[in-house]
Structure 1
Amino acid sequence: MTQDQAEIVALRALGWLAEAELLDAFQSSTGADRDSIRAAAQDPDFLGAVLDFVLMRDDWVEQACTAQSLPYEGLLAARAALPGGNLPHWT
C-alpha cells in the first residue's frame, strides 16, 4: 500500500469514528478538539494516530474495515505505510 492510499484509508477511518459516535472518545484520548482534527487531517503523522486509535480494539477494526470494504488486515497495512508504522509490534 502506498502512503497516499494509506492516507485515504485513515481519512475514511476518521469519518467512521464520527459515524460510529467514537469521535468524542478519540478527542478525549488525544486532547484534540474538532477544529484541530480538521486542521490535522492532512498530516500523515496525525492520520497514523487515527489508525493507532482504531487498532486498539478488534471490534473497531472489524467495523471500520467493513465500512470501507477492506480486509481486516487493511488497517494494519495502511498503518505500516504511514510515518511511524514501521515500528515493531509487540503484540
Structure 2
Amino acid sequence: MNQNAAENIALDAFVWLCAEEDLLPVFLNASGASVDDLRAALSTAQGADPALLGAALDFILMRDETVIACCAALKLQNDRLAQAQAVLAGTAGMHWT
C-alpha cells in the first residue's frame, strides 16, 4: 500500500468515526481534541493532518468490534486499516521475526 492509499483509507475511517455518535465523544475525550480542533486539522492547505488521521486509526484499531464495523461500512478487508496505519507510521516494511 502506498502513502496516498493509506491517507485515503485513514481519511475515510476518520469520516466514519465522526459519524458514529457513540464513538466520536470517546475519541475526543481520549485525544483531548475538540470538534473545532478536528475541523481545523482537516482544513489545512496541505490536506488532513497526518497526526489526526493516525490518531483516528489508532483509536479504531483498539477494538476488534470497531475495526469490523468500520471496515464493513467502508467495504474494506479487516486488515486494511492496520496496513494503512503501518504505512502512515512508517513501519509498513518492518518485520519483527
**Alignment partner of 1:10 is 2:10:** yes
| 1:39 and 2:45 are equivalent in the alignment | no
Determine if contact 2:17/2:56 at 8 Å carries over to the other structure.
no
Q: Report SS of the residue matched to 1:9.
A: helix
Gap change, CA 1:18 and 1:45, over 3 Å in 2:
closer
1:86 aligns with 2:86: no
Say whether the 8 Å CA contact 1:48–1:85 is kept in structure 2: no
Q: How far apart, CA to CA, are the structure 1 residues paired with 2:82 and 2:20?
A: 20
Q: Deviations over 1:1-31 (max 9, x none)?
A: 1111111111111111122211111100001
Q: Unpaired runs of 5+ in structure 2?
A: 43-47
| Moved beyond 4 Å, runs of 4+ | none
Q: Percent identity?
A: 46
Q: Mean alpha-carbon deviation: is it higher for 35-44 or for 20-29?
A: 35-44
In structure 2, C-alpha distance between the alignment counterparts of 1:17 and 1:55, rounded to whole Å: 12
Q: TM-score, normalised by structure 2?
A: 0.81
Q: TM-score, normalised by structure 1?
A: 0.86
Deviation by residue 1:47-86 (Cα, 9 ceiling, x = unmatched): 111100000000000000011111000001110110x351
RMSD between aligned residues: 1.6
When the two structures are aligned, how many residues end up with a matched partner?
87
Alpha-carbon separation, structure 1, partners of 2:60 and 2:7: 14
Give the Cα separation in 2 of the matches to 1:72 and 1:81: 16
Q: Please, which moves more after superposition, 14-23 or 71-80?
A: 14-23
